[in-house]
Amino acid sequence: MKKISVLGSTGSIGTQCLDIIRYNKDIEVVALAAGSNIGLLKEQIKEFAPKYVSVSDEKLCLELKKELNYESLDIGFGKEGLIAAASYDDADIVLSAVVGMIGIEPTIAAIKSGKDIALANKETIVCAGHIIMQLVKDHGVNLFPVDSEHSAIFQCLERYNPVHKILLTASGGPFRGYTSKELENVTLEQALKHPNWSMGKKITIDSSTMVNKGLEVIEAKHLFNVDVSKIEVLVQPTSIIHSMVEFEDGAVIAQMGVPDMKLPIQYALYYPERKYIEGERLDFKKLRKIEFEEVDIEVFEGLKYAYEAAKAGGSMPAVYNIANEYAVALFLEKKIAYKEITRLIKSAMDKHNIISRPSVAEILEIEEQIKADFRRD
C-alpha cells in the first residue's frame, strides 16, 4: 500500500486529497502537517491515524499533545516540524499543499529523502525552480504537478515530440472585462468571489489579479524546460479546457474536464493509473461553444510583471512572488487597496539587484529584505 505525507492537510487541496484517500481506501496516511486549524486536524488524526503530525507553533503543539494523549503519535511544530513531516521515513509520496515560500525547504527535504512529490505549492518552483528541478534529477524521484493547468500540460505532453508552445488557460477571474479604472474600486469581498473555482483566500486573490497565472507561467518554464517566449496565456472563461500543448507540426492537444481539483490531485497520487472519481462529468451534448479571449496585460499588470520577472531570471521571480505574498496579506487585512498589490510587486522588482542563481539561503534573505521594506512603507 502506498504511504503519503500530506503538507497542508487542513487547506483546500489537503482536504480534497484526504477525500480521495477516504474514497479509494488504498493509500495510508503516515504524516499530516497543518497550520492552526486544530479542530479539523484532530478529526483527521482520529480518522487517518498518522504516525507524525506537525502544527504551526509550539503553543498549538502542546495543546494538541494535551488533548490527544496518543503515545504512538509524534507531534512537531514550525518549520522543523514541516520538514520532519516531509521527510518522514515511511512516506513514499509527499503532497506539498502549503501556501507560500514555507514550502521550499520541506520540498527539498522530501526530495533528498527519496520521496516522490505531488506539488501544489507553486511558490517552491517559482522561487527555487533551478534548485528543485536539479534535485529531482539528481535523486531520481518523480515530481507531479497538482495545479490544474500544469497537470493538464503534463497529461498532454508526448515524450518524443518537442513542444512548440504551451497554452496556459485562465478563467479571467471575477474581474474579467474590467478596465484599469474599475479595478481601483474593487473590494476584498468582490475579489474573494471566484466564478468557477473554490480555493483558499490567497490563491483566490492571486487569481483575481492574474498574478496566479503569472506564477504559473514561471512554474511552467521550470517544470517543462521551455523558454518563457513559448508560454502563452489565454482566457477560457468556463475553465473547461485546463491547458493545451501545441507541437511542431501544428497539432494541439488539450486536456478538458469540469473545474474540479480532485482530478489533478488524484492523477498525481496514482500516476500513471487513472481511477474513477465521483461527481460531475463534462457533457459535450450540452456544450454550445468554447470561447477564448486575449488577456489585457495593461489592465492585469500582475501577468505583465511575471513575464518580466521570468525573462530577467535569477532571483527576480522570487522577488515577484515574495512581494505578492506580503501585498496580498496586507490586502486580506484591508490595509491596502486592491491595485496596490501589483504596484508593490513592481516597486520591489524595480529595487532588486538580480542574483543569477540564488541559493535557498539567498532567497530567504531576499524575503527578509522585502519584508523589512514593506514594514517601512
Q: Per CATH, which fold does 2-145 belong to?
A: Rossmann fold (3.40.50)
DSSP H or E stretch at residue 233: strand 231-235
Write the pLDDT tens digit of every residue in 351-365: 999 999 999 999 999
Please tell me if the domain spanning 2-145 has the same topology as the one spanning 150-257+282-376: no
Q: What is the CATH number of domain 150-257+282-376?
A: 1.10.1740.10
Write the pLDDT tens digit of every residue in 95-143: 999 988 999 999 999 999 999 999 999 999 999 999 999 999 999 999 9
Confidence of residue 376 (pLDDT cuts 50, 70, 90): low
pTM for this entry: 0.93
Question: How far, in Å, CA of 270 to CA of 330, rounded?
Answer: 38
For residue 377, what pLDDT is reported?
65
Residue 173 has pLDDT above 70, yes or no: yes
Write the pLDDT tens digit of every residue in 253-291: 999 999 899 999 999 999 999 999 988 999 999 888 899
Question: How far, in Å, CA of 180 to CA of 178, rounded?
Answer: 7
Write the pLDDT tens digit of every residue in 197-224: 767 888 899 999 999 999 999 999 999 9
Provide the grid cell at 65. 499533545
Percentage above 70 pLDDT, the chain? 99
- What phi and psi, each to the nearest 5 degrees, are found at residue 120? -110, 0
Write the pLDDT tens digit of every residue in 52-106: 999 999 999 988 888 887 777 999 999 999 999 999 999 999 999 998 899 999 9
For residue 375, what pLDDT is reported?
78
240: left (phi over 0), alpha (psi -120 to 50) or beta: alpha
For residue 199, what pLDDT is reported?
76
Task: Put the strands of the sheet holding 2-7 in their side by side order.
Answer: 74-77, 52-55, 27-33, 2-7, 93-96, 116-119, 143-145
Q: What are the structural domain ranges in the chain? A: 2-145, 150-257+282-376
Percentage above 90 pLDDT, the chain? 85
Answer whether 135's CB lies under 8 Å from 110's CB: no
Q: Mean pLDDT, the chain, as a whole number?
A: 94
